[in-house]
Amino acid sequence: MVVIMNSGATKENILQVQRWLEEMGFGIHCSQGVERTIIGAIGGDKSKVDIEQLLSLPGVERVVHVVEPYKLVSRSFHPETSVVKVGGVPIGRNNVVIAAGPCAIEDYQTLVQIAQAVKAAGAHILRGGSYKPRTSPYSFQGHGAEGLQMLHAAGQAVGLPVVTEVMDPRDVELVAEYADMLQIGARNAQNYSLLKEVGQTDRPILLKRGMHCTIEDWLLAAEYIAVQGNTQIVLVERGIRSFETYTRNTLDLSAVPVVHKLSHLPVGIDPSHATGMSELVPTMAKAGVAAGADFLMIEVHHDPPKAWCDGRQSLNCDQFAQLMTELAQVATAVGRSLEVVEDEDHNPL
């Protein structure tokens, strides 16, 4: 249940409603919007609530029942699209934000080389994996803590915020020290201990869709993070498993408008992992922007055939620059832009 306060509601009015709900056995989640305050009442027994009495409390405008199983991330809870800030880069406004970089961090020199190239092409966030969820235990597992330092330094060197995957709840604190955004990968999309742990950080979260997750499973995974107090979440569709084997996964492009309808969280597309084939990445990236994606994550490597991980799906630096030009045109055609105006109030690491 969600209580929407009117724009003139005072602090005292808000507190009174919160106390009333707490006495009824609800947990409270308060969201202070620009216009109004929204109070989420979680748990409790709705059948015992006297709605007329609740509506009569000063400052209460409306009471909405959130029928979806996910509450805090649902659009009925928060009708405006949320803006998630990574460094100073806002995701969820009219601009489309692009994160690009190598699948795995290999060495500092090549990482900076790629970072410079993606920055010059107009990318807003640098990505790079340091803890790699490889299908085979014999494949390169990532440089771990050392890679985090390289990523942080490369981001600083070129002036881009950085995103990287965290796989283990025990590493969350360390990764949060070095990264502006924490990524939960597809394989860990339903690792509830990990979701709870990242929910306790103040870092924005990039939550990939699990390859076997329905949209509802995915939104409930986001709810696990939100309920811990961290609602800075970007949902990223990266392809799901289907009977089709031609592409690495099957990009569920309709997830973009569907999730926009169901949730206030920004939605992104990862065409690299979705297709597994670099020649398909530009087309699906553009389709993602046309479908309304707020964010794209694209794997870029200076020499894809030699990449230690996911070279087959990585664009080289020139291909990425070319794609950025085309994406700008698609963005304009759908009334959006790749130009990001950084917020001044950001808290860099």
The closest alpha carbon to 162, from 107, 240, 53, 89, belongs to 89
Q: Concatenated DSSP letters for 81-130? A: PP-EEETTEEESSSB-EEEEE-SB---HHHHHHHHHHHHHHT-SEEE-BS
What span, in angstroms and rounded, lies between the C-alpha atoms of 239 and 313?
A: 13
Examine residue 185 and tell whether it contacts ligand PEP (CB under 6 A): yes
Which of residues 223 and 270 has its CB atom nearest to Mn ion in the complex? 270
**Stretch binding ligand PEP (CB under 6 A), from 25-33, 72-80, 179-187, 257-265:** 179-187
Q: Concatenated DSSP letters for 228-240? A: TT---EEEEE--B
CB of 238 to ligand PEP, least distance (A): 4
Among 103, 211, 298, 340, binds Mn ion (CB under 5 A): 103
300 binds, among Mn ion, ligand PEP, none (CB under 5 to 8 A by kind): none
Examine residue 155 and tell whether it contacts ligand PEP (CB under 6 A): no
Which of residues 141 and 149 has its CB atom nearest to ligand PEP in the complex? 141
Which of residues 72 and 235 has its CB atom nearest to ligand PEP in the complex? 235
CB-CB contact of 203 with 162 (8 Å): no
What span, in angstroms and rounded, lies between the C-alpha atoms of 84 and 252?
A: 23
What span, in angstroms and rounded, lies between the C-alpha atoms of 170 and 228?
A: 17
CB of 133 to ligand PEP, least distance (A): 5
Handedness of CA 66, 72, 73, 79 (dihedral sign): positive
- What SS3 class is residue 188? helix
What span, in angstroms and rounded, lies between the C-alpha atoms of 143 and 288?
A: 31
Cβ neighbourhood burial of 346 (10 Å; 0-12, 13-18, 19+): middle
Which of residues 147 and 185 has its CB atom nearest to ligand PEP in the complex? 185
Interface with Mn ion (CB under 5 A), residue total 2
Interface with ligand PEP (CB under 6 A), residue total 11
Which of residues 60 and 274 has its CB atom nearest to ligand PEP in the complex? 274
Alpha-carbon radius of gyration of the chain? 21
Which of residues 9 and 281 has its CB atom nearest to Mn ion in the complex? 281
Among 103, 194, 324, 327, binds ligand PEP (CB under 6 A): 103
Among 29, 310, 317, 340, binds Mn ion (CB under 5 A): 310
CB of 270 to Mn ion, least distance (A): 9
Which of residues 4 and 186 has its CB atom nearest to ligand PEP in the complex? 186
Among 143, 208, 264, 301, binds ligand PEP (CB under 6 A): 208
Binding site for ligand PEP (CB under 6 A): 103, 129, 133, 165, 185-187, 208, 238, 270, 273
